[in-house]
Structure 1
Amino acid sequence: MGFFALGCYLGRTKISPSIRLAILTIVVGLILSILESFFWLDYNPNNNWLGLKSSVHILSFGIILLLLSKKLSINYTSNKFKSLIEWFGRQSMPIYTSHMIIMFSSARLGFSPNNWAENWIVIFILDIIVIYIISKILPKKILPYLGIR
């Protein structure tokens, strides 16, 4: 939730981070994430430790800086593919807030994937379908309060 708020705040300001600082932050975050994985694997080898680690916050902050950097945003032009990605970006809050409900509901219905990629793809598609249906059913005045734009 913190990164969503940070992204909203930075996206509305006139901040223009250095692309070098962004790349350096990403590299440091990635190295720390790898080192932290090895540490946790030694500590508990029964867990794969591919999930959210504390070092991932540094990596995520670097990616936010990179996306807001002036060099990256000056050359941006929209096309059909990018507009689809932009739509997903605008729906990031409803996706974030609904994915756990959808995961638990699908598990109750008997969906149990064999791997994380299958789980991620199915949950993501279900999230998009639910958001699309909600955006067509509910009045337009209510949608911004749900984060749907």
Structure 2
Amino acid sequence: MYSATEKALIASIWEKVAPHTEEWGGEALERLFAVFPQTKIYFKHMNTSPGSASIRVHGGKVMKAIGSAAGDVDNMVKALSSLSDLHAYNLMVDPVNFKLLSHCILVVLAVHLPSEFTSEAHLAFDKFLASVAAILSHKYR
């Protein structure tokens, strides 16, 4: 599914993301809520104002889950299984939102890693996030 080059690019990008999971995850959620305000419906329990502590904390959780998948690209289904269950059976989040958030994460990475986020890295990470979104959506069927 992933070439050795793609795996190396994903690992390299994630290595740079890992120290900033809460900050960059929060930024990705802020972008999601600003560009796609309908996604706020799933966060009624949370302060969705830009810069809120709630957004940063949840963004950190999202990014750490993505990090667990990045750390085991060959076995992402297992790494994301409990998260997939939670979203499909308990939270019932519209699966389209996983794709929307993926795009927001790509923008944040491009902003923070301008020299490292080459077109090749962008393509590999986009493919990776598409896989994450597909895995999280799988149990909806």
> Normalised by the size of structure 1, how large is the TM-score?
0.29
Give the number of the structure whose alpha-carbon radius of gyration is greater.
1
> Normalised by the size of structure 2, how large is the TM-score?
0.30
The structure where helix makes up a greater share of residues is: 2
Return the structure number with greater relative CO, CA threshold 8 A, min gap 6. 2
